[in-house]
Structure 1
Amino acid sequence: MDDVSIRLKKKRKLMGLTQAQLANLLGVKPQTISGWERGLSHPKGAQLSSLSKAFNVPKSWILYGNDELANSGSSSCDLIVKIPLYENIQTGVGNSFDLSRNFYPMPSDVIENQENKDSIFCIKVYGNSMEPAFYDGAVLAVNGSRKSVIDGRVYVFRINNRLRVKAIKETHIGIDTNELQLKL
């Protein structure tokens, strides 16, 4: 793979698009996107312009990887922000936390109005015990700065070395906590 194909594939994935979705957005066949990402061909002319607009990057970045966006080391662009992702956290099974992290691309508008944006992180769901609320492989975004409880929302609680995910509902008797059997 050449640098162009690597940049295209990384940027597409960062934006959370499949090859078919990007192809539809650009008005080309999915095979065209596949060919670009495998280095068999490169976007040119109108396709390059459309791709530049879709990715919100200059054409020079697509072709050569050089511009202030590419060289800034920034972890975000106008549409996407990288949020810490803790994939190896286990909940409800008594394991300690493994706090090694990666990053998850999150649409900027999702966290735009959140307080304490630096406190937002993601955890990944493993298993199917929480269906239909959450499916295997789902990513939950957590705002660690929120301390007040709002009726009907789902929360991640840390109790000693365990995490619990609970849906909190207020009833006529009091607060009902429905635990979601979560293996993160």
Structure 2
Amino acid sequence: MAHPVDVHVGKRVRHRRWLVGMTQQQLAERVGIKFQQIQKYETGANRVSASRLWDISEVLDVPVSFFFEGLDVEQAAGAKEERMPSDLMGDKEAMELIRSYYSIPENQRKRLFDLARVLSDVA
């Protein structure tokens, strides 16, 4: 059984790879491994070593800490989790929404974010 931290890190690798529009094969080539290994990392089946995580962070242009963001929130399992899919990073609709959101110019994106925050407070 995969460790929850390995699963979380793998989801974050998949999330970032998907956001930048990179395939598993492309990431594997840039890191110097086989794409099957990326698949295993993304499912949490294999643990990512510190040096390999460093390489992946360099290719995906994020700090290593990116892969651990939100870990405490997932473990805490707060009330908001009930309204969200259990695998938010694996939810295609959520990922498409995020990709679209970041394609909006920054000044408009901030206004959209403020509107979404107000609407979520009302719900």
Contact 1:14 1:105 in 2 (8 A): no
Q: Deviations over 1:52-103 (max 9, x none)?
A: 11122222222x226xxxxxxxxxxxxxxxxxxxxxxxxxxxxxxxxxx934
State the structure with bigger RCO (CA 8 A, min sep 6), 1 or 2.
2
Correspondence for 2:97:
102
SS of alignment partner, residue 102 of structure 1: helix
Structure 1 residue 25 corresponds to structure 2 residue 30: yes
TM-score by length of 1: 0.36
Give 5+ residue unaligned stretches, structure 2: 71-95, 109-123
Runs of at least 4 residues of structure 1 off by over 2 A? 101-108, 117-120
Percent same amino acid among aligned pairs? 29
Give 5+ residue unaligned stretches, structure 1: 67-100, 112-116, 121-184
The structure carrying a bigger helix percent of its residues is 2
RMSD across aligned positions (CA): 3.1
Structure 1 residue 6 corresponds to structure 2 residue 11: yes
Question: 1:53 is matched with which residue: 39, 55, 58?
Answer: 58
Q: Deviations over 1:143-183 (max 9, x none)?
A: xxxxxxxxxxxxxxxxxxxxxxxxxxxxxxxxxxxxxxxxx
Structure-1 separation of matches of 2:31 and 2:101:
22
Structure-2 separation of matches of 1:106 and 1:25:
27
Compare CA radii of gyration and give the structure with the larger one: 1
The structure carrying a bigger strand percent of its residues is 1
Contact 1:36 1:43 in 2 (8 A): yes
TM-score by length of 2: 0.51
Paired residues, what number? 78
Mark the CA change 1:118 to 1:47 in structure 2 (over 3 Å): closer, same or farther: closer
Contact 1:15 1:105 in 2 (8 A): no
Structure-2 separation of matches of 1:37 and 1:22:
12
Correspondence for 1:65:
69
Residue type at the aligned position of 2:64: K
Q: Deviations over 1:120-160 (max 9, x none)?
A: 9xxxxxxxxxxxxxxxxxxxxxxxxxxxxxxxxxxxxxxxx
